[in-house]
Amino acid sequence: MARTANSRIYVAGHRGLVGAAVARALLQRGVENLLLRTHQELDLTQQAAVRDFFDRERPQAVILAAARVGGIHANNTRPALFIRDNLLIQDNVIDAAHRSGVAKLVFLGSSCIYPKLAPQPIKEEYLLTGPLEPTNEWYAIAKIAGLKMCQAYRREFGFNAISLMPTNLYGPGDNFDLQNSHVLPALIRRCHEAKLRGDAELTVWGTGTPRREFLHVNDLADAVLHLLDTYDDEPIVNIGWGEDVTIRELALLVAEVVGYAGRVVFDPSKPDGTPRKLLDTTRLTQLGWRPKIPLRAGLEQTYAWFKAHAADARL
Ligand SMILES: NC(=O)c1ccc[n+]([C@@H]2O[C@H](COP(=O)([O-])OP(=O)(O)OC[C@H]3O[C@@H](n4cnc5c(N)ncnc54)[C@H](OP(=O)(O)O)[C@@H]3O)[C@@H](O)[C@H]2O)c1
């Protein structure tokens, strides 16, 4: 899609980690005609309200970064909420965008769509080749339905919807609520609080051996805009850093960045989740994009943001 400073772009979920980064990136690139609605202003699970919004506002492009998102605990305890909200949000937005003549839609999925024991690194074609990680299959099934809906609307109606599958993300605006957050923001907050209390020891769930990949959300936003401008095809595209670290390495790096001097220990009685999750980013590289923010620099920037926003961050 040819994006200009006047393009009318709707960023759904602009108060979330991803949506906020995409909105910032668009503003930085001079796009002034952003269309934004908070969850309170427009509940995307409500079909009539969503259709009405698209008919009235007529965006030219949509970045669908609104979703019901959470960590293992939230996924495990609220399976109905996770599958229902995500199916409704994406169904309503994709269909209304098509009906109202949107020129391009970017759907954001997640690396949890891939089989739990997929060969590593995970290529896009491993989708639907094996069972999912059971702790978040509700969320994953909804996301798979979303990317299939984009592909079906492209085939049947010629609707230009693309689907991007980011790895684990982190950065300013992340969710630091311990009940509901992902491993990295939870580690930042717990190390910070352990440092303030002067705790001698900090316990991390699991064995520390699972491997995970992390991408700074500003890098993701840059990739989203690159593919918004240049990629118009059916195959899904992984968005990742290209290398992973063990949870132990991550925990020690976070402790170092935060300045927590106590001991980091692991509790192997707690679940580990998927043993390894590294996305193969060959397709993304071929499409002309590479990430730029290394993990340590990204963590330093995120921790600085966390300290500066402790009052208004999602705690
Ligand atoms: N974070 C990651 O590590 C990660 C990794 C891979 C992929 N992704 C994908 O990126 C997308 C966004 O994730 P995120 O991390 O940015 O999540 P997030 O920080 O929780 O943001 C999601 C946003 O969606 C909004 N929202 C939720 N339900 C809504 C509804 N019914 N109507 C309107 N708005 C609603 C939320 O508003 P409220 O807070 O007001 O409810 C929030 O602003 C998701 O599709 C996710 O799968 C994220």
User: How confident is the model at residue 3, as a pLDDT?
Assistant: 64
User: How confident is the model at residue 73, as a pLDDT?
Assistant: 77
**Encoded amino acid at 196, one letter:** L
Q: Is the CB of 185 under 6 A from ligand 1?
A: no
Do 166 and 111 meet the contact criterion of CB atoms below 8 Å apart?
A: yes
**How far apart are the CA of 44 and the centre of ligand 1, in A?**
12
Please give the number of the atom of ligand 1 that sits closest to the Cα of 45.
31
User: How confident is the model at residue 273, as a pLDDT?
Assistant: 76
C-alpha 121: how far from chain center = 19
Q: pLDDT tens across 276-289, in order?
A: 899 999 999 999 99
The alpha-helical segments, DSSP class H, found in 170-259 are 183-197, 217-230, 247-258
**How far apart are the CA of 269 and the centre of ligand 1, in A?**
30
Q: pLDDT tens across 4-14, in order?
A: 667 899 999 99
User: How confident is the model at residue 2, as a pLDDT?
Assistant: 62
Question: Is the confidence at residue 315, as pLDDT, over 70?
Answer: no
CA-proximal residue: ligand 1, atom 8 (nearest): 110
β-pair type (34-35, 9-12): parallel
Q: Is the CB of 65 under 6 A from ligand 1?
A: yes
More confident residue, 113 or 177: 113
- 139 catalytic? Reply is yes
Residue that has been written with the tokens 């290209």 in this structure: 242
Percent of the chain's residues with pLDDT above 90 = 86
User: How confident is the model at residue 28, as a pLDDT?
Assistant: 96
The burial of 51, by beta-carbon neighbours within 10 Å (0-12 exposed, 13-18 middle, 19 or more buried), is given as middle
What is the pTM assigned to this prediction?
A: 0.95
Q: pLDDT tens across 16-34, in order?
A: 999 999 999 999 999 989 9
**How far apart are the CA of 22 and the centre of ligand 1, in A?**
12
In angstroms, rounded to a whole number, what is the distance separating the alpha carbons of residues 258 and 121?
Answer: 30
In angstroms, rounded to a whole number, what is the distance separating the alpha carbons of residues 186 and 94?
Answer: 32
Catalytic one among 139, 153, 170, 231?
139
Please give the number of the atom of ligand 1 that sits closest to the Cα of 175.
19
The encoded tokens of residue 176 equal 């630091």
Question: Is the confidence at residue 223, as pLDDT, over 90?
Answer: yes
Do 71 and 186 meet the contact criterion of CB atoms below 8 Å apart?
A: yes
Q: pLDDT tens across 232-257, in order?
A: 999 999 999 999 999 999 999 999 99
In angstroms, rounded to a whole number, what is the distance separating the alpha carbons of residues 14 and 20?
Answer: 5
What letter does residue 314 receive in the DSSP assignment?
B
The arithmetic mean of pLDDT across residues 121-140, rounded, is: 95
CA-proximal residue: ligand 1, atom 18 (nearest): 16
The burial of 263, by beta-carbon neighbours within 10 Å (0-12 exposed, 13-18 middle, 19 or more buried), is given as exposed
Q: Is the CB of 193 under 6 A from ligand 1?
A: no
The encoded tokens of residue 222 equal 């840059």
Distance linking the first and last C-alpha atoms of the chain: 38
What letter does residue 110 receive in the DSSP assignment?
-
Question: Is the confidence at residue 271, as pLDDT, over 90?
Answer: no
H or E element that contains 216: strand 214-216
In angstroms, rounded to a whole number, what is the distance separating the alpha carbons of residues 31 and 48?
Answer: 28
Residues 6+ apart with CB under 8 A from 307: 192
Radius of gyration of the chain from Cα atoms? 19
User: How confident is the model at residue 62, as a pLDDT?
Assistant: 98
Nearest to 23 by CA among 12, 181, 184: 12
In angstroms, rounded to a whole number, what is the distance separating the alpha carbons of residues 116 and 43?
Answer: 32
Q: pLDDT tens across 144-190, in order?
A: 999 999 999 999 999 999 999 999 999 999 989 887 778 899 999 99
Q: Is the CB of 217 under 6 A from ligand 1?
A: no
